[in-house]
Structure 1
Amino acid sequence: MTDIVSPTASSTRAEVRNRQITAALIVAVGAAGALAGAWYFQLVVGLAPCPLCLEQRLPYYIGVPVALAVIVLAGIGKEGPARMLLGLAGMLMALSGALAIYHAGIEWQFWTGPVTCSGSGPATGGGNLLEALQTAHVARCDEAAWRLAGISLAGYNALIAAFLTVVAMWGAMAKSR
């Protein structure tokens, strides 16, 4: 018996490959765009990121190269590994979204944030250390530095990350018959 691939099976694999590449491209561009926006607000607008803002960026830093790897893998027909990496990209985006929801909740005073960036903790020490602490500026996690339509940057990140999670999982669920 010969290994003849039917036109239907062949088009199904092409559809899966296209879906995986599309999902990965959207995730890569969306995550890179979110990072560019964060850097724009930091470097151009002058909003100092708080520690939670910086933590929300980490899944994007990892997610962009993962999504780019998916494009390569799907392009050469490695459907299984591409699916697994899209699942990983989806989990990374979900992690960033969870951190963003946590951060937005702190900004809205739904719960307290970490002591390192919420409220003012007691200063200890003396001399130059005390002066350094008094002059140091740490961006606060419990105050939104910027809002548009009542939504802070953390809130927008939650929305972006949720969208990218859905897209990544949509691509990860693509399977040949």
Structure 2
Amino acid sequence: MPIPFLVAILAAAAPLLALGFEYWPGLAPCALCLWQRWPYWVAAGLAVLAGLLPQPGRVWLLRAAAAAVAVSGAIAALHLGVEQGWWPSPLPACLAPSVGASVSVDDLLRNMTPLPSKPCDEPAYLIPGLPVSIAGMNLIYALLLSAWILRRASREAAGR
């Protein structure tokens, strides 16, 4: 199998696996979880394009795919910091609504977002007893995958 198409499969596997965890075992995603998925889709699309192009364009698209995967890793690192309480989430969907004296219950109910229902600072653990949250697993996967893609792109550029 050509490397670009393998990259596309590996990049698409992460968000598809995360979607599968929503249905079984029923893990609800938070807003940061959902944000981590989009760069993988970008990487998969870039990798498919790389598979359709000749050599010079292929290498640059593979490097761009690696950068997209690294972006997901950066979002995962941000999410991990939110889970650990090192900093607050920058996304308004992750923050609890502030209640002032002039805010009515009807206004609060009207402004509630239906999804995601899980707070971003609450880690989700997939494997019991393993103290690595799904955001942590995504960070590890993104770092390994982006490094592997860059290595393969370098080999493609060298003609190996």
Identity between Structure 1 and Structure 2 (%): 31
1:144 equivalent to 2:120? Answer no
Unaligned runs of 5+ in 2: none
Given that 1:117 and 1:142 are in contact with CA atoms closer than 8 Å, whether structure 2 keeps it comes out as: no
Q: Which amino acid aligns with 1:64?
A: A
Which structure ranks higher in relative contact order (CA pairs < 8 Å, sequence separation ≥ 6)? Answer: 1
SS at match of 1:151: coil
Q: How is 1:73-152 mapped onto 2 (pairs within 5 angstroms)?
A: 73=53, 78-114=54-90, 116-118=92-94, 120-123=96-99, 125-126=103-104, 128-132=106-110, 138-148=117-127, 149-152=130-133
1:164 equivalent to 2:145? Answer yes
Q: How many angstroms apart in 1 are the aligned matches of 2:16 and 2:137?
A: 14
Q: How many angstroms apart in 2 are the aligned matches of 1:105 and 1:127?
A: 32
Q: What is aligned with 1:67?
A: 47
When Rg is computed on C-alpha atoms for both structures, the one with the higher figure is 1
How far is the alpha carbon of 1:169 from its aligned partner?
0.6
Q: Which amino acid aligns with 1:70?
A: A
Aligned residues: 153
Q: What is aligned with 2:135?
A: 154
Q: What is aligned with 1:40?
A: 20
Given that 2:93 and 2:113 are in contact with CA atoms closer than 8 Å, whether structure 1 keeps it comes out as: no
- With over 3 angstroms needed to count, the CA separation of the structure-2 counterparts of 1:170 and 1:42, relative to structure 1, is same
SS at match of 2:92: coil
Q: How many angstroms apart in 2 are the aligned matches of 1:106 and 1:163?
A: 22
Name which of structure 1's ranges 89-98 and 130-139 shifts more when overlaid on structure 2: 130-139
Name which of structure 1's ranges 157-166 and 105-114 shifts more when overlaid on structure 2: 105-114
Q: How many angstroms apart in 1 are the aligned matches of 2:112 and 2:146?
A: 41
Question: What is the RMSD computed on CA atoms of the aligned residues?
Answer: 2.4
After the TM superposition, list the runs of 4 or more consecutive aligned residues in structure 1 that deviate by more than 4 angstroms: 132-137
Q: Which amino acid aligns with 1:87?
A: R
Name which of structure 1's ranges 82-91 and 161-170 shifts more when overlaid on structure 2: 161-170
